[in-house]
Copies of this chain bind each other. A is one copy, B any other.
Amino acid sequence: MAPYNALMDVREVGEAGLLERIARWVREGTASAKGAPTTKGPSLSTLCLGIGDDAAAWRPQGALELWTTDTMVEGVHFLRRQADWHDVGWKIVAANVSDIAAMGGTPTYALVTLGLPEGTQVEEVERLYQGVLALANLEGVAIAGGDVVRSPTFFVTVALAGVAGEALLTRSAAQPGDRVAISGSPGLSGGGLRMVLQGGKGNTAAEALLWEAHFRPGPQVDLGRRLVTAGVRTAIDTSDGLLDDLAKVCLASGMAARLERDHIPVHPALRQTFPEDYWDLVLSGGEEYQLLFTAPPEVMERVAAQEGGGVAVIGEITSGAPGKVTVVDGSGRDVTPPRGGWDHFRP
C-alpha cells in the first residue's frame, strides 16, 4: 500500500484516471461552481458542454468571438526545478488573458493542453491546475476542455476564447500624431526574472514586488475595455518588452515612433535593485502583461484624465520608416539601445 500522501506517478492512474481528476479539479475549483460567483465574465451560464466530450460547446455572447493561444515549454520559458507549478499554471493563463485584454475583449473559455514527461506526479499536475484555476477564477474564465499527451518535454498550451463588441484594439490602427501610452511601470517582470537568476529570494520589499511582477502578473482586462470605450483603437500587450512591442505596432501600422525616455515611468523598486542597468529592463524586459496603446491627442487626454497615474503618455507615432522606434532623452539626443526583444529562434 502506498504511504499516505505519497506522490503518485501519472502512470499509476493512467490517462483516463488523470482526465477524471482534471475534470474534478476544474469542477471543484471553479469559483461560481462553489456558489462564489466571479465578478467577471458570463462564461459559465452559456457553456453548454465542458470537459468530457469530443468538443466544448457554448452560446455566442458578443458581436465578435476572440481567440488566442500561448505555450510555455520547460527549459525555454521556465526551469522545471526552479518553477512552482502553480506559478506556471497562473502565468500561462495570464499570458492568454492578456492577449484578449489587448484586443479590448473579455475572456470566456479556455482549453488546456498538457505535454507530460514520464515520471510526472499527479500532485504536480494538480498544483498546475490550481494555478490555472486561481487566475481563471479571478478573470471569470471557465476551463472548457483540453488534451493531455505524453511528451519527452513538459509543455502547457492554453487556447483562450473571448468576446468583444464591434470595436477592437488592433495593432494596425496607429496614425501619425497618435500619442503612445503604457499602463504600469515597464520592466518589473524582467527585473523579477533577473533577480531570481542572480539568486535573489524576494526578501526585501523591492525584491518581493519584482517577484510578484514576474510570477503573478495580472493582465489588464478592465483597462482594455475602458480603452475601447474611450475611443482607443490600437493596443498590444507588453509581453515581449516595451521597444519590441511598440515596434510591432509600428510595423503593423506602417508607422514609426519616438519615445521620450524622461516620460517613461521607472518603478523605484527596479531602480533600487538594478541601479546600473534598469533602463535595459524598462525598455526591453518582457513577460509583462501591461498594455501599450496609441490614440489621437484628444482621445489620449480623455484616457489620461480617466486613468490618472495608471497610465503614462511616453511618446508619439510618426510617419517614418515602418517599425522604427527611436528613444530620445530630455535634450532630444538619440539614446535608442541596440534592438533587443525576445526571439525564440535566433542564437
Contacts and interface: CB of A to CB of B under 8 A. Distances in A.
A54 interface: yes
A57 B164 contact: yes
A171 B53 CA distance: 6
Interface string A102-144: 1101000101010110000000000000000000000000001
A329 to B, nearest CB: 28
Given A52-B252, A60-B65, A66-B55, A77 B149 contact: yes
Contacts of A73: 115, 149-152
Contact of A58 (B64, B102, B113, B343): B64
Q: Of A103, A344, A346, which is in contact with the most chain B CB atoms at under 10 Å from its CB?
A: A344
**Of residues A18, A55, A150, A343, which shows the largest number of chain B Cβ atoms within 10 Å of its Cβ?**
A55
Nearest to A237: B54
Nearest to A248: B16
A53 B172 contact: yes
A75 B152 contact: yes
A54 B102 contact: yes
- Interface size on A, as a range, is 35 or more
A59 B165 CA distance: 10
Interface string A200-219: 00000000000000000000
A188 interface: no
A168 B64 CA distance: 23
A153 to B, nearest CB: 4
Instruction: Give the copy number.
Output: 2
A57 B65 contact: yes
Contacts of A103: 53-55, 57
A55 B71 contact: no
A305 interface: no
A52 B148 CA distance: 28
A63 B59 CA distance: 6
B65 A148 contact: no
B67 A111 contact: yes
Interface stretch (A7-15, A27-35, A176-184, A269-277): A7-15
A260 interface: no
A38 interface: no
Nearest to A152: B153
Given A73-B151, A115-B155, A53 B252 contact: yes
Interface in A61-91: 62-73, 75-77
Most chain B beta-carbon contacts within 10 A, residue among A52, A162, A252: A52
A64 B54 contact: no
14 contacts: A13-B345, A15-B345, A55-B105, A56-B67, A56-B68, A58-B65, A59-B63, A60-B65, A65-B161, A69-B111, A76-B149, A76-B150, A76-B152, A150-B345
